[in-house]
Amino acid sequence: MNIRFATLADVPAFVELGRNFHALTRFAAYPYNPDRVAQQLHAAIETGQNRNNTHCFFVAEDSQGQPVGGLIGCIEQHFFSEQLVASIIHYDVLPEKRMAGAGLRLLTAFRKWAENRGAVELNAGVNSGVHLDKMDRFLRRLGFQQTGGNYSLSLARKKPV
């Protein structure tokens, strides 16, 4: 398992991986827009390469060099302080590759990236709505503490009868 920074050449593969990840979450009910995903991936890669270096996009590859997962993160000053906080924007690994260490290696790379930039905290939110118990155990084993929860309220209008 290899972890590396994403390049623009990775975008098409991650648009397709994103389709798979999307289908496995509570967001599957939302329309998947591959053009928007490609734009967002481009932005994450380009923002990670600019002089501010506020974003990162790590790729996990299998032994054949095929992407099997990724982690997109950012670092910014906290709203009420100059202290830097690193947050995961998106983090996923193909289900059949999750026990091969890709998830741990991605998170380790993100942690090192954040520490190298002076972050005082790493935040990981889980809003996919699936495998919450497994993700909770995984993050707690790595030293994370639960500090809140995720809530959502559907504002989609129901069609009149």
CATH number at residue 54: 3.40.630.30
Q: What is the pLDDT of residues 6-28, one digit of tens each?
A: 999 999 999 999 998 888 888 88
Strands 84-93 and 121-123 turn out to be parallel
Q: Report the pLDDT value the prediction gives residue 125, as an integer from 0 to 100.
A: 82
pLDDT of 129 reads: 65
Where would I find the beta strands (DSSP E) of 48-154? 55-61, 67-77, 84-93, 121-123
DSSP string across 22-47: HHTSGGGGSPP-HHHHHHHHHHHHHH
Task: Please give the Cα distance from 134 to 104 (Å, whole number).
Answer: 13
| Residue 77 covered by a domain | yes
Is 45 among the domain residues? yes
Measured in whole angstroms, how far is the alpha carbon of residue 46 from the centre of its chain? 16
Q: What is the pLDDT of residue 159?
A: 62
For residues 101 and 19, give the distance between their C-alpha atoms in angstroms, rounded to a whole number: 22
Question: For position 156, what pLDDT does the model report?
Answer: 75
Q: Is residue 161 part of a domain?
A: no
In this predicted structure, the answer to whether residue 116 has a pLDDT above a threshold of 90 is yes
pLDDT of residue 151: 77
User: In the prediction, which pLDDT does 51 show?
Assistant: 57
pLDDT surpassing 90 at residue 146: no
The whole domain housing 86 covers 2-141
Q: What is the pLDDT of residues 89-108, one digit of tens each?
A: 999 998 888 878 899 999 99
User: Does the residue 157 lie in any domain?
Assistant: no
Percentage, residues of the chain above pLDDT 90: 52
- Say how many domains are in the chain: 1
| pTM score, whole prediction | 0.87
